[in-house]
Amino acid sequence: MSGPASIPFIDLHPGEDDQVVREAIDRVIRRGWFVLGPEVEHFEAAFAAACGGPFAIGVGSGTDAISLSLRALGIGQGDEVIVPAMTAAFTALAVIAAGARPVFADVDAGTLTLDPAACAAAVTSRTRALVPVHLYGQPCDMERLRRVAERHNLAIVEDCCQAHGATEKGVAIGSRANAAAFSFYPTKNLGGIGDGGAVITADASIAERIRRLRNGGQSGRYEHIEAGVNSRLDELQAAVLRARLPFLADWTARRRALAATYRRELPTWVKTVDERDPGHVYHLFPVRVPDRDRLRARLTSREIETLIHYPVAVPRQPAFANMGPADCPVAEAAASELVSLPLYPRLAVHDAARVAHEIEGFQKGRQA
């Protein structure tokens, strides 16, 4: 008699969106227009409306969305940009791609998002911008971060790459920033079938410049008025994203239900990341546990897959060794304890409960 089915960390196979996605792909192929065409225009309009910003500009990746936003704001060589010490390294790499220097600030112990006090302490005469990251789908404390930015006349580019549809106090994240960056990497809450990204902004001049920068700096065909890049959301990705966008609200509701199950069923010795706002969209569900490797081994033996986001605080990555010292003890402590549990819209609630039960059994086994 076989045991319980395996629980993968994520499932990217076709689901209820299968038919509309296939129709979208077929539509693009039949039209024979694959770059900067009607699908991108239609998706940009729909995504802007969903995010509460008048302008959306499709680009090649979430990393490019950050770097092009900074460039559009005039930020580059000699400038500093504050980023959190706990995030994907791509946030800081985007700052470097814009020509600026990332400066790392520690994160809040409860939410693991950028700590406003640490952010304020990191400001220097060279600081030009903040890039808060809505990590795991959790809205940052933007009210306090905006006060820091206003006090020092800094721009804000919100990294929303894990937080599609998230809100803070009922307001869409990114809608009040100079610009907001989104990723459509396949594992995201709204994912494509390859790389892709977008910038949301309320500033028409920023939107115009990003459109130019993403397409080689062209103001017109073969008229390159500045050194841009090749970072265009292609028609195929735009069509797929446009087809999936109407599902996002329901998928988010399922993520929140699964997160609620974990919070209810996990044993008390497991430290969950605080939910500071109900607008959290739960791209990931990380927990902090002692003896992480042994726990993961037990779950693997029970055919439950987990991942670690992120095992090394960003300032400790070799790629940033020449950026100067950054004392970020909260991020470093969390990096040694975090493990991400399965959470995606097609995961059954009873499977989330089973994961929690297996974690409880791990502790009982250690105590036996």
Say how many domains are in the chain: 2
Averaged in consecutive runs of 10 residues, what is the pLDDT profile of the chain (368 residues)?
83 94 98 96 98 95 98 97 98 98 98 98 98 98 98 98 97 96 98 97 97 95 93 97 98 98 96 97 96 95 97 96 88 97 97 96 66
- If you average pLDDT over every residue of the chain, what do you get? 96
Residue 17: how many CB atoms within 10 A of its CB?
16
pLDDT tens string 200-214: 999 999 999 999 999
Cα separation, 9 vs 306, whole angstroms: 6
Percent of the chain with pLDDT over 90: 93
167 and 300 share a domain?
Answer: no
Domain boundary among 246, 267, 302: 246
CATH number for the domain harbouring residue 256: 3.90.1150.10
194 and 218 share a domain?
Answer: yes
Model confidence, pTM: 0.96
What is the edge-to-edge ordering of all strands in the sheet holding 271-272? 271-272, 285-288, 338-341
CATH number for the domain harbouring residue 26: 3.40.640.10
Q: What is the pLDDT of residue 364?
A: 64
314 and 204 share a domain?
Answer: no
DSSP conformation letters of 78-143: T-EEEEESSS-THHHHHHHHTT-EEEEE-B-TTT-SBPHHHHHHH--TTEEEE--B-GGGPPP-HH
Q: Domain range spanning residue 299?
A: 248-367
Q: What is the pLDDT of residue 1?
A: 47
pLDDT tens string 1-17: 466 889 999 999 989 99
Q: What is the pLDDT of residue 60?
A: 98
- Give strand pairing partners of 245: none
116 and 242 share a domain?
Answer: yes
Tokens of 237: 């990705």
pLDDT tens string 86-143: 999 999 999 999 999 999 999 999 999 999 999 999 999 999 999 999 999 999 999 9
Q: Are 106 and 329 in contact (CB under 8 A)?
A: yes
pLDDT tens string 351-365: 999 999 999 998 765
